[in-house]
Amino acid sequence: MLQGTPILVLKEGTERERGKGASAGNIAAARAIADTVRTTLGPRGMDKMLVDSMGDITITNDGVTILKEVDVEHPAAKMLVEVAKTQDQQCGDGTTTAVVLAGEFLKRSEYLLEQNVHPTVITRGFQLALQEARRLLESEIGTPVKAEDEAILVDCAITAMGSKGVYGSREELAKIVVNAVRKIAEVRGGKTVCDVDQIKVEKRHGGTIADTQLIEGIILDKERGHPRMPTEIQDAKIALLNSALEIKKTEIESKINIKNPNQIQSFLDEEDKTFRRMIDAIKAAGANVVVCQKGIDDVVLHYLAKEGIYAVKQVKESDLQKLARATGGKIVTGIKELSAADLGKAAKVDERKVGDDDMTYVTGCSNPRSVSILIRGGTEHVTQEVERSLHDALKVVASVLEDGVVCPGGGATEIDLAVKLRKWAASVGGREQLAVEAFAQSLEAVPWALAENGGYDSINTLIELRSAHTGASANKNVGVNLADGKAADMWKLRVIEPMRVKSQALTSATEVADMVLRIDDIIASKKSSPAPPSGGGHDH
């Protein structure tokens, strides 16, 4: 019956790419993204200036920031942006490395596809290579470290910030980072856990990067609620409230009928009594500082000022929770429930002027589980780049404390894995061996890019590195010394990275490469055109 009748399965206007054309397009898009960030890799990497649609400028060489800001259209390229985001969430550092590796895996795969090696064979080879690489990281390349080893933690922080724009102040910032992470580290179920979100980072331009400081307590971006309140409270007892200190409107619509003038006065008196009861409850608990998540009525602020109580209103919920961790207080919902046991304690609460703003400092907490870092810098762009650098360093130090394993940086880990995987490939056999060899060769892209970005001859550097990692005198710690482009021991140069950064970068890059390689058909619906303007289509 249906012979000769065309069957329309896809909607008209649907774009479709199949087979090798689809693979080639995806690989080209992913490589374009990898090439964008490749020049930013390492301490000698270049910066990118990103201008958004509003005209705001961001200057950075942080891989994930660049990829977040770039408006990516191609679906395969978007997958590489996801790799950078995952790497950033898990490790903070290594975002550029992960994207460069993913791009390189796809580049080498393209050559294998041209040799008629099936995509599933390549992906299987990549998975085998990844498992072996992770085993090598854990058993041979990684070095266990203790949480007390402050020098190594500082070195890891310095390495993480080495490629950022804070080069001159790295040592001071690294010490701040290590102290901050150690303060918030906790042991849960026999494991160390470092929740970096418990470190509050505030930035104010003015001063220099060297003025950045760690505050063992919390800074609130708020001033006191009333000008007659004291500017400083010693031996602070802090009430943390997440309900408003004002009379709420009723949920249902209501009217108050007043028939004579005396009723107005009694109504106002009742309101005043309610406010006084709030003040009495705060005084009875013994609080001399009130931090409120919601609003505080002007009359209440006036009474608090008369009592010499320091109050801050409209504080963010996250800041209130950090304050509770720092001062040991409990967040109370209703003022009636407030008791002396709920109060947080701090040696001092005071208002200070930072730049153009008044800020509240809560300092001198006995054992703060939450701390603050105040970033200073000449301009807003500088403070933003310092914030990005600190984010990377905080995550890196946290992952070293949590995992207790580090490995050499400067491309040493990648070149060592490449050499060992090449040897191991022979034992795999079959066509998968080709994929394992391609995987090993891809890893060399990291030291290659480091040398290239440093302005050195990549080929010479790579040959020197390979010979240092093979033979009887092989040293797994030899990487690229970016002072002269020669091979050098990274432990002696104190270029150290957490193993988690390397492991996560390899895993994410391999998974996204596998995903892109397995696609053999791209079916894209036509973008819907904007609807015609409403109204008749006649000219008037």
CA–CA separation, 242 vs 500, rounded Å?
Answer: 38
Exposure class string for 371-395: b at 16+ Cβ within 10 A, else e: bbbbbbbeeebbbbbbbbbbbbbbb
Q: Angle at CA 255, nearest 5°, toward 254 and 257?
A: 150
Q: Looking at the predicted structure, is the pLDDT value of residue 199 above 80? A: yes
Residue of 96, 159, 212, 360 marked active site: 96
Walk me through the domains of the chain, giving residue ranges and CATH numbers: 15-143+408-524 (1.10.560.10), 146-216+368-403 (3.30.260.10), 219-367 (3.50.7.10)
Averaged pLDDT for residues 423-434:
88
Query: Which of 125-129, 298-302, 513-517, 521-525 shows the lowest per-residue confidence on average (mean pLDDT)?
Result: 521-525
384-390 mean pLDDT: 84
Instruction: Answer yes or no: 95 catalytic.
Output: yes
Is 62 labeled as catalytic in the residue annotation?
yes
Mean pLDDT of all residues belonging to the chain: 83
Q: Are 336 and 274 in contact (CB under 8 A)?
A: no
Cα distance between the two ends of the chain: 53
Closest alpha carbon to 194 in 64, 92, 327:
92
Ranges 18-22, 40-44, 333-337, 530-534: which has the least confidence:
530-534
Question: Average of pLDDT values for 277-290?
Answer: 85
DSSP string, 269-292: HHHHHHHHHHHHHHHHHT-SEEEE
Place of tokens 């007659």: 228
In this prediction, residues 54-79 reach a mean pLDDT of 81
Percent of the chain with pLDDT over 70: 90
From the list 280, 276, 275, the residue with the least C-alpha distance to 338 is 280
Is the pLDDT at 132 greater than 90? The verdict is yes
- Asked whether 219 and 200 are in contact (CB, 8 A), the reply is yes
Q: Is the pLDDT of residue 538 over 70?
A: no
Burial of 127 (0-12, 13-18, 19+ CB in 10 A): middle
pLDDT in tens, 216-255: 888 888 888 888 888 888 888 888 888 887 776 555 666 6
For residue 213, the cross-strand partners are 374
Confidence of residue 438 (pLDDT cuts 50, 70, 90): very high
| Closest residue by Cα to residue 370 from 402, 344, 400 | 344
| Higher pLDDT among residues 135 and 47, named by residue | 135
CA distance 299 to 305: 10
Q: What is the pLDDT of residue 437?
A: 93
Q: Which of 62, 88, 93, 416 is catalytic?
A: 62
pLDDT tier at 506 (50, 70, 90 boundaries)? very high
Q: Which of 88, 392, 416, 514 is catalytic?
A: 392
Q: What is the mean pLDDT of residues 397-406?
A: 87
What's the mean pLDDT in 18-28? 76
- Whether 142 shows a pLDDT value over 90: the answer reads no
Highest mean pLDDT among 123-127, 178-182, 201-205, 471-475: 123-127
Catalytic residue, from 86, 95, 159, 461: name it: 95
Q: What is the pLDDT of residue 44?
A: 82
Give the global pTM: 0.79
Q: 């609620």: which residue's tokens?
A: 225
Query: Whose structure tokens read 């106002």?
Result: 268
Q: d(Cα 348, Cα 233) in Å, to the nearest integer?
A: 6
Alpha carbon distance 40, 518 (integer Å): 29
pLDDT 10s digits, 509-531: 999 999 888 877 777 666 655 55
CA angle, 87 then 89 then 95, to 5°: 30
Average pLDDT on 407-422 reads 90
In the residue annotation, 96 being an active-site residue is answered as yes
Q: Which of 175-189, 239-253, 292-306, 357-371 has the lowest mean pLDDT?
A: 239-253
Is it the case that residue 40 has pLDDT exceeding 80?
yes
What does the pLDDT look like over 152-188, one tens digit per residue?
888 888 888 876 666 667 788 888 888 888 888 888 8
Classify the C-alpha dihedral 51-57-58-64 as positive or negative.
negative
